[in-house]
Amino acid sequence: MVDVGGKGATQRVAVAEGTVRMAAATLDAIMAGNVAKGDVVAVARVAGIMAAKRTADIVPLCHPIGLDAVSVELEPDRALPGYRVRARAATSGRTGVEMEALTAVSAACLTLYDMAKALDRAMVIGDLRLLEKSGGRSGDYRAP
């Protein structure tokens, strides 16, 4: 792991996003709450939050950090069709939370797939990326 001991603690925030593309009928079933496993969006949201909290256990060499906040939002998008998943992670610390935000999105997308796979095994998870980050020595970043 990189030594962050000499770095000062600052407020750090990261926002990441990803998508799950699916058949329009699958999107309709999820939105209507007609999926046998239950509330797909609620479970995917919780999975994303839980994953963000365990990022250091999943990603080698990632620092375990205390998170001040994590939010995960899943928005239906008929143009995909599918869901856009966005996560925001924040901490006051010596290292950034980009990996926590990306991990949250990944887990939420995987959970959405898992819960709806009986309806649509052809779903595609993609477009995972960091949208923005702030804080720390490297400064702010916003995706073009």
For residue 39, being part of any structural domain is answered with yes
> Among 89, 64, 74, 86, which Cα is nearest to 40's?
74
Residue 42 tokens read as 């609620």
Q: What's 25's domain CATH number? A: 3.30.70.640
Q: Give the separation between CA 139 and CA 109, rounded to whole angstroms.
A: 28
Domain contains 59: yes
What tokens does 58 get? Answer: 């999943």
Whole-model pTM? 0.95
The number of folded domains in the chain is 1
Q: Which residues are catalytic?
A: 114
Residue 47 lies in a domain: yes
Structural domain includes residue 1:
no
Structural domain boundaries, residue 54: 10-135
The single-letter code of the amino acid at 75 is: E
Map residue 132 onto helix, strand or coil.
strand
Q: For the segment 87-142, what is each residue's pLDDT rounded down to a tens digit?
A: 999 999 999 999 999 999 999 999 999 999 999 999 999 999 999 999 988 889 99
67 within some domain: yes
